[in-house]
Amino acid sequence: MKKGIIFIVVLGVIAGVIFFYLNSKEDIGIAANYPRTYKAFKSNPDWRGGETGAIVPSVYFTGMARQAYESAAAIPDVLDHLYCFCYCAEEHGHKSLRTCFTDGHGSGCDSCMLEAIRARQLHEKGYNIKEIRASIEREYYRPHKE
């Protein structure tokens, strides 16, 4: 009788460990290294940062920075649906790629500028937000280094 109870207890512990592992494997390995905002972005195909700040006028910039701020001004709603792969959401509290252009951050960050310019190119070709989002992620994603 005691062996039967011990067997059931051991079996229950093993089942619990397996259950825990299967239900938490998303948080193990690579996914555990994803920053919090990126996890939210990845898990919601309709993710939006909610940035409402005004885009800084492009006249304050030259070269690629000007082109990026012009892109941000042309498609701010699209940029608000994009995660910025310089990880400024995690490190500076930015809400989305759009936030990078509500201050001077976007003018000093190649990731921000390239993503904004590319998003505008895709938008002008008729891509929808989900297609732009997938393309930007494919082209600019790099693992986050803490």
How many angstroms separate the CA atoms of 37 and 43, rounded? Answer: 10
How many angstroms separate the CA atoms of 140 and 78, rounded? Answer: 16
pLDDT digits (tens, 9 = 90+) for 73-90: 999 999 999 989 888 877
Q: Which residue bears the tokens 């600019």?
A: 140
Q: Which of 6-20, 46-60, 106-120 has the lowest mean pLDDT?
A: 6-20
| Residue pair 95/50 in contact by the 8 Å Cβ criterion | yes
pLDDT of residue 138: 95
How many angstroms separate the CA atoms of 138 and 85, rounded? Answer: 11
- Better-predicted residue by pLDDT, 30 or 129: 129
Which residues lie below 8 Å from residue 142, measured CB to CB, with a gap of 6+?
A: 85
Report how far Cα 61 is from the mean position of its chain's Cα atoms: 26
